[in-house]
C-alpha cells in the first residue's frame, strides 16, 4: 500500500492531484483544512486488513509470571475509505446527476468522534465549493441580478433584502448605464410616507430608545408647525420622568415657541391631560427613552396605550445603529404599532445600509429624516428626500472598506441559488 499526502487550495484541486498521480483506484484516507489550504491523504493498492492493523492502538506487554495472558482485544471495524472517483463526483459541475458520497476521514485512532468531525469538515468543503460554483454560474446567466447584488452589498444592504430586490431586476434593460438599476430599485421600494398621506395633525407620540434624539425631534416638529400655523393650537406633553433634565429641555423649547407644556407621570394622568388639550390641533408627546431590554419599557408602553390610545405613534430610529440593534428596537416597540418612523442622526451614520435594510424588511414607512441639531432646519419630509437618502448611502460606501468579495457573495447568494 502506497500512502501520499497532498496539499491544495481547494478539495477539487486536491482530488485532481490524487487522480492524476494515483489513478481512479486511489482511496481517500483522511481530509482536513489546514493553514495552507486542504490536506488530503490518499493511498493506492489499499489493503483494509493492513490498514486496520496499522491503525490499531498497541498495548505494551509486561512480563508477569503469575499473571494470566490477557485476551486479545478485537479491533473496532474501520469504515473503508471511499475511492477518489466517488470523492470527485461530489465536485462534478453537473449537479443534477452527481450524488456526493459521504466520505469521513479516518483518524489514526479510528474514533467515532474524529470521523464525525472530519465528515462535517468535508461536508462544509463540499457546500462551499458548490456555493462558489453556483455564484459563478449565476454571474454568467444573470449578469444584471448579480450586478444589483454586488452594488447593494457594497452599500451595506443586508443579504436578505438585497436578494429580495435583485429578484425584481428585469432580465434585459434599455438603459445605457445599467449601474443605475440598483439605485432605482432601492428608491422605488424604499417605504416612505408619501405626499398624499403625510402625518396628520392630532395627537402624535414619539417613542424610541435612549439617545435616539426624541426630544430634539419633538422640538423640530413643533417649530415646523409654528412656522406654518402659529403656536396657538400647539401643545407639548412630556411623560419622561426618568431622564434628568428631559422636561426642562422640552420646557425651554416650549417657551421659545410660545406653546404650553404639560407633564404626565402615568397613563391615567396622560389621559386627563389630553382631555384638557382636546381643542388643540396638534399635541406632541415626548416619551421616556428606554432600551429594548429595559424592564420598565413594558410599563411605559402600557401607560401610553392607556392614556393616548388614539395617538399616532412615530418611532425614532437612530440611523447609525447596527442591524441587530435596530431589529431589537423594532420588536420592542411593535406593541404600540408605530404608524411610521423618523430616521434620526442621519448625519452621524457611517453607513445607512442597516437602517434602510430594516425599514424595507419590516415595510416600516419613513416619515421624516433628521440630519443635524438645527431646529427646525434639519427636519425633512422623507418623500422629498428618498433619492437623497439612497445617494447618501451610496456615497458613504466610498469611505468604507469593501464589503463584498467572492467569498461573501458565494456564502450569502451562492448557497441560496444552489438550494433554490
pLDDT tens column, 234-292 = 999 999 877 767 788 899 999 999 999 999 989 999 999 999 999 999 999 999 888 88
Banded model confidence at residue 404, pLDDT cuts 50, 70, 90: low
What average pLDDT does the segment 395-414 reach? 72
Q: What is the DSSP letter of 363?
A: T
Question: What pLDDT does residue 33 have?
Answer: 83
Question: What pLDDT does residue 207 have?
Answer: 95
Question: What pLDDT does residue 370 have?
Answer: 95
Tell me which of 304 and 57 has the higher pLDDT: 304
Question: What pLDDT does residue 74 have?
Answer: 42
What average pLDDT does the segment 57-74 reach? 48
- Reported as type and span, the H/E element at residue 306 is helix 297-307
Q: How far is CA 175 from the centre of its chain?
A: 31
CA dihedral 246, 252, 253, 254 (to 10 degrees): 100
Strands 340-344 and 312-318: parallel
Strands 202-207 and 312-318: parallel
* pLDDT at 71 exceeding the cut of 80: no
* pLDDT at 79 exceeding the cut of 60: no
**What's the start-to-end Cα distance of the chain, in Å?**
43
Decide: 235 and 259 in contact? Cβ < 8 Å: yes
What average pLDDT does the segment 181-187 reach? 89
What average pLDDT does the segment 389-396 reach? 92
* pLDDT at 296 exceeding the cut of 70: yes
Decide: 240 and 289 in contact? Cβ < 8 Å: yes
Per-residue burial over 3-24, b = 16 or more CB atoms within 10 Å of its CB, e = otherwise:
eeebebeebbebbbbbbeebee
Tell me which of 192 and 137 has the higher pLDDT: 192
Take residue 94 and report the three cell numbers written for it. 453537473
Give the bridge partners for 339, in sequence order: none
Cβ neighbors of 117 (< 8 A, separation 6 or more) are: none
Residue 33: phi, psi to the nearest 5? Answer: -90, 130
Question: How many C-beta atoms surround the C-beta of residue 420 within 10 A?
Answer: 7
Question: What pLDDT does residue 100 have?
Answer: 46
Banded model confidence at residue 410, pLDDT cuts 50, 70, 90: confident
* pLDDT at 75 exceeding the cut of 60: no
Least confident window among 59-68, 168-177, 179-188: 59-68
- Express each pLDDT in 331-378 by its tens digit: 999 999 999 999 999 999 999 999 999 999 999 999 999 999 999 999
Tell me which of 349 and 418 has the higher pLDDT: 349
Question: What pLDDT does residue 167 have?
Answer: 87
Question: What pLDDT does residue 5 have?
Answer: 85
Decide: 26 and 44 in contact? Cβ < 8 Å: yes
Question: How many C-beta atoms surround the C-beta of residue 274 within 10 A?
Answer: 22
DSSP state string for 293-331: T-TTHHHHHHHHHHH-TTPEEEEEEETT--HHHHHHHHH
Decide: 307 and 283 in contact? Cβ < 8 Å: no
Question: What pLDDT does residue 244 have?
Answer: 66
Question: What pLDDT does residue 35 have?
Answer: 80
What average pLDDT does the segment 190-219 reach? 87
Tell me which of 318 and 134 has the higher pLDDT: 318
* pLDDT at 218 exceeding the cut of 60: yes
Decide: 367 and 160 in contact? Cβ < 8 Å: no
CA proximity to 300, closest of 187, 170, 209, 223:
209
Least confident window among 17-26, 222-231, 255-264: 17-26
Question: How many C-beta atoms surround the C-beta of residue 366 within 10 A?
Answer: 23
> Where would I find the H helices in 142-285?
143-154, 159-166, 180-189, 214-229, 246-257, 267-276
Banded model confidence at residue 409, pLDDT cuts 50, 70, 90: confident
* pLDDT at 37 exceeding the cut of 60: yes
* pLDDT at 308 exceeding the cut of 50: yes
Query: What domains sit in the chain, N to C, each tagged with a CATH number?
Result: 2-56+80-137 (no CATH), 195-397 (3.40.50.300)
Q: Is 387 helix (H, G, I), strand (E, B) or coil?
A: helix
CA distance 57 to 54: 8
Least confident window among 122-136, 165-179, 200-214: 122-136
Least confident window among 21-30, 203-212, 335-344: 21-30
Residue 92: phi, psi to the nearest 5? Answer: -65, 140
- Express each pLDDT in 82-103 by its tens digit: 454 445 444 444 464 444 444 4
* pLDDT at 48 exceeding the cut of 80: no
Question: What is the chain's Cα-based Rg?
Answer: 32
Tell me which of 205 and 146 has the higher pLDDT: 205
Amino acid at each position: 500500500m502506497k500512502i501520499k499526502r497532498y496539499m491544495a487550495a481547494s478539495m477539487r484541486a486536491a482530488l485532481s492531484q490524487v487522480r492524476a498521480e494515483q489513478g481512479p483506484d486511489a482511496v481517500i484516507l483522511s481530509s482536513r483544512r489546514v493553514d495552507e489550504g486542504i490536506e488530503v491523504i490518499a493511498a493506492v493498492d489499499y489493503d483494509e486488513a493492513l490498514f486496520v492493523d496499522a491503525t490499531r492502538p498497541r498495548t505494551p506487554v509486561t512480563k508477569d509470571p503469575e499473571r494470566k495472558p490477557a485476551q486479545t482485544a478485537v479491533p473496532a471495524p474501520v469504515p473503508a475509505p471511499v475511492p477518489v472517483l466517488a470523492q470527485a463526483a461530489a465536485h462534478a459541475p453537473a449537479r443534477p446527476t452527481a450524488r456526493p458520497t459521504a466520505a469521513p476521514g479516518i483518524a489514526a485512532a479510528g474514533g467515532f468522534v474524529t470521523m464525525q468531525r472530519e465528515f462535517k469538515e468535508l461536508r462544509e468543503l463540499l457546500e462551499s465549493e458548490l456555493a462558489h460554483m453556483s455564484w459563478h454560474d449565476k454571474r454568467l446567466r444573470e449578469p444584471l441580478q448579480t450586478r444589483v447584488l454586488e452594488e447593494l452589498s457594497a452599500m451595506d444592504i443586508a443579504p436578505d433584502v438585497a436578494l429580495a430586490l435583485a429578484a425584481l431586476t428585469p432580465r434585459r434593460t434599455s438603459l445605457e448605464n445599467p449601474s443605475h438599476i440598483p439605485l432605482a430599485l432601492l428608491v422605488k421600494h424604499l417605504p416612505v410616507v408619501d405626499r398624499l398621506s403625510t402625518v396628520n395633525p392630532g395627537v402624535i407620540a414619539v417613542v424610541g430608545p435612549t439617545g435616539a434624539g426624541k426630544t430634539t425631534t419633538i422640538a423640530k416638529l413643533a417649530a415646523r408647525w409654528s412656522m406654518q400655523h402659529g403656536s396657538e393650537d400647539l401643545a407639548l406633553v412630556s411623560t419622561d420622568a426618568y431622564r434628568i433634565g428631559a422636561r426642562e429641555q422640552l420646557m425651554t423649547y416650549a417657551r421659545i415657541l410660545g406653546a404650553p407644556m404639560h407633564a404626565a407621570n402615568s397613563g391615567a394622568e396622560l389621559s386627563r391631560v389630553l382631555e384638557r388639550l382636546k381643542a388643540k390641533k396638534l399635541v406632541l408627546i415626548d416619551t421616556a427613552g428606554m432600551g429594548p431590554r429595559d424592564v420598565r419599557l413594558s410599563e411605559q408602553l402600557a401607560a401610553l396605550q392607556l392614556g393616548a390610545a388614539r395617538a399616532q405613534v412615530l418611532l425614532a430610529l437612530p440611523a447609525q445603529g447596527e442591524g441587530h440593534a435596530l431589529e431589537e428596537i423594532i420588536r420592542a416597540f411593535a406593541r404600540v404599532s408605530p404608524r411610521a418612523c423618523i430616521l434620526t442622526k442621519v448625519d452621524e451614520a457611517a453607513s445607512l445600509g442597516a437602517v434602510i435594510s430594516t425599514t424595507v424588511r419590516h415595510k416600516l414607512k419613513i416619515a421624516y429624516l433628521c440630519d443635524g441639531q438645527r431646529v427646525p432646519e434639519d427636519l425633512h419630509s422623507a418623500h422629498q428626500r428618498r433619492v437623497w437618502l439612497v445617494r447618501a448611502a451610496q456615497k458613504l460606501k466610498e469611505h468604507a472598506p469593501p464589503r463584498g468579495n467572492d467569498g461573501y457573495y458565494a456564502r450569502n447568494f451562492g448557497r441560496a441559488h444552489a438550494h433554490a
